[in-house]
Structure 1
Amino acid sequence: MGQDWVKPLELADRGVRLVPLGLQHEEGLKAAAADGELWNIRVTSVPEPENTRRYIQDALRMFDEGKRVAFAVLDAATGQVIGSSSYHDILPEVKRLEIGYTWYAKSRQRTALNTTCKLLLMQHAFETLGAKVVGWRTDNYNYASQRAIERLGAKKDGVIRGHAMRRDGTIRDTVMYSLAAGEWPEVKAHLLHQLERWGSLRETQPTRSGA
């Protein structure tokens, strides 16, 4: 099962902490999602305030099923919840997992946050778990997510048509990306170079460009 390969843990660097998501993060997730009313974005799955507890419970159920390990993303200096991300679609038999269910409070977007989180998750996947492939998937209309994934160095694998239901009841096409273990060293060097330019989360301010 997936939880035998990918276990809950804490990852931290550059002013960011990723900790196992639990019901104790409910109010923090509500506040983070309210920063920008992110549940109104059609192409994401950010929970509405009244559905936040169920969102966490679903993540915990998926962990029990070996399908997902969810994290709360925290500002290391304050402990404030500023988003969430997960490992999911965990396939230990082929050493493949995906990174997704990712969202951040609007005021923290377009900073070094996403790059820092993804670096932590990819580094653990490739260097500790021995993953052969890390994947991503996103809505075909979520262009911001596609650009962010591509900036990480992932390769576009293709589009699965009529793949999943959106929150508004429409059916989406899903854009699939992946990064192979052999590509990781160059991608890691590039991401570290970017972060050296940006500094830590506490040193960066939102801008009009960047992941």
Structure 2
Amino acid sequence: MTFVQPITLRDRGVRLEPLSLEHESGLRAAAADGELWKLRVTSVPEPQDTRAYIETALKMRADGNRFAFAVLDDATGQVLGSTSYHDILPAVKRVEIGYTWYRKSVQRSHVNTTCKLLMMGHAFDGLGCHVVGWRTDNFNFASQRAIERLGARKDGVIRGHALRRDGTIRDTVMYSLRAGEWPEARAQLLYLLELRAHTA
């Protein structure tokens, strides 16, 4: 049996459902909101590459090493972006969360925090994971701050680790959160969401 089974997660008006080819046009529109593929430190597909992006994600799901979700507005069904479990290691009960991006209009909203709460909750409480990890570009400082706000600890930097879309070689910053740290991280995420709800 595959470690990560298809599931739909929802909270606070956000829905995560397994990514499929049905999301192609919505995902293309989400990427176009802000021309996100032009960002040097992300993996957002260019419009003409959206179908291939989904097909790659589906192949990785079949291989057992990535499970991609479409992120939707639960009320309207509008596609807001995508996020994934990846580098799935069933033997040690570890997943990483990444391949995450959102249309510009919902960035700096409650959407990312809600998605992380849902995915971390499912990983620790549903899948019984011992560790959840993240990795990001050493120049993606916004991503590093966001990961640190989740309560994750910086494990270190892997130098010369991966190619960027512009052909340069990046260093990768690695983070993780252990199961014993999850209750405190969950309390902080819920606090941040309540704070945002009262100041919105």
Q: TM-score, normalised by structure 2?
A: 0.98
Q: How many angstroms apart in 2 are the aligned matches of 1:6 and 1:22?
A: 16
Higher relative contact order (CA 8 A, sep 6+): 1
Deviation at 1:199, TM superposition (A): 2.7
Aligned partner of 1:188 in structure 2 is 186
CA RMSD of aligned residues (A): 1.2
Q: How many angstroms apart in 1 are the aligned matches of 2:41 and 2:149?
A: 19
Aligned partner of 2:79 in structure 1 is 81
3-state SS of paired residue (2:139): coil
Which sections of structure 2, spanning at least 5 residues, go unmatched?
Answer: none
1:4 corresponds to which of 2, 8, 32: 2
Aligned partner of 1:60 in structure 2 is 58
Q: How many angstroms apart in 2 are the aligned matches of 1:173 and 1:193?
A: 32
List 4+ stretches of structure 1 deviating above 6 A.
Answer: none
Q: Share of identical aligned residues, percent?
A: 71
1:179 corresponds to which of 169, 177, 180: 177
Render the CA deviation track for 1:185-207: whole Å, top value 9, x for unaligned.
Answer: 0010111111112239xx95xxx
1:40 corresponds to which of 38, 41, 56: 38
Give the 5 Å matches for 1:1-211.
4-199=2-197, 204=200
Aligned partner of 1:208 in structure 2 is none
Q: TM-score, normalised by structure 1?
A: 0.93
Q: How many angstroms apart in 2 are the aligned matches of 1:94 and 1:199?
A: 37
Deviation at 1:149, TM superposition (A): 0.5
Q: How many angstroms apart in 1 are the aligned matches of 2:61 and 2:109?
A: 29
Q: How many angstroms apart in 2 are the aligned matches of 1:42 and 1:193?
A: 32
Q: How many angstroms apart in 2 are the aligned matches of 1:187 and 1:13?
A: 17
Q: How many pairs does the alignment contain? A: 200
